[in-house]
Amino acid sequence: MERRLEGKVALVTGASRGIGYAVAERLVAEGARVCVTARKPEPLAEAAAALGGPEVALGVAGKADDPEHQAEAVQRTISTFGSLDILVNNTGINPTFGPLLETETAAIRKVFEVNVFAAIAWVRHAHDAWLGKHGGAVVNMSSIAGLGSAPGLGAYAASKAALIHITGQLAVELAPNVRVNAVAPAVVKTQFATALYAGREDEVAAGYPLGRLGSPADVAGAVAFLASDDAGWITGQTLVIDGGITLVGKL
């Protein structure tokens, strides 16, 4: 694999498993060193070890929407590896399912706290500590749910739509030194998305023109591209990674 991220340092939130871990794994494979975050210390420590241990991976546990955790993770990344060139805002939650008007306001607020406000805060910390002066790239994890109405997923979809808009907004505000892009996956086979395909994977996959659900590696490759110099003239864009499902009018 081409080591196009040689010498770069990345921070990937929500990376003890699933898409976040796959992204961190791909970045390391392309030459980067990474700081990974997650709420639970034990799985996070296991992930950091699997990524290659202290020489290439640092784990900092905490809640994604905790300002103290955000500041600590950014500072420890820089003090450990010497820079912070890439930020991947991967953390996302979806604790509710059902009609938006039947969803408790507190639950909607929590979704936005983690999926939107925390993402902005991570960019702010990274920008103030390193990116603003030295440049770099941000990749936000949106979803095809953010491209239109998503029955049962109203709060989550609205938060991901907001993140798509924020991606473009920050791309303009932080140019030319910092590029900001997003990816919008469809259903990817992870623990987070299990409820969307469990027990009926073949049926769900049949609706995709490419005939299968996504894998974390599918998303990781796209993130690595957007973080690399190969995407050096791309900013403010949301790359849809969906096996073709949106081409047939489905989200």
Q: What is the pLDDT of residues 26-60, one digit of tens each?
A: 999 999 999 999 999 999 999 999 999 999 999 99
Question: In the annotation, is 156 catalytic?
Answer: yes
Rounded Cα gap, residues 88 and 227, in angstroms? 9
What is the pLDDT of the chain when averaged over all its residues?
A: 96
> Which residue reads 């990116």 in tokens?
131
pTM greater than 0.75: yes
Six-digit token pair at 11?
Answer: 């921070």
Q: Which of 21, 156, 197, 208 is catalytic?
A: 156
Six-digit token pair at 226?
Answer: 């957007």
Q: In what order do the strands lie in the sheet with 136-141?
A: 57-61, 33-38, 9-12, 86-89, 136-141, 178-185, 238-241
Share of the chain above pLDDT 90, in %: 92
pLDDT of residue 195: 79
The CATH number fitting domain 9-241, selected from 3.40.50.300, 3.40.50.720, 3.90.580.10, 3.40.720.10:
3.40.50.720
Rounded Cα gap, residues 202 and 133, in angstroms? 49
E-strand stretches of the chain: 9-12, 33-38, 57-61, 86-89, 136-141, 178-185, 238-241
Peptide bond into 176 cis (omega under 30): yes
| For residues 179-188, average pLDDT | 97
The DSSP letter of residue 16 is: S
Rounded Cα gap, residues 160 and 170, in angstroms? 15
User: Residue 250: which pLDDT band, with cuts at 50, 70 and 90?
Assistant: confident
Give the pLDDT confidence of 101-117 residue by residue, as tens digits: 999 999 999 999 999 99
pLDDT of residue 122: 98
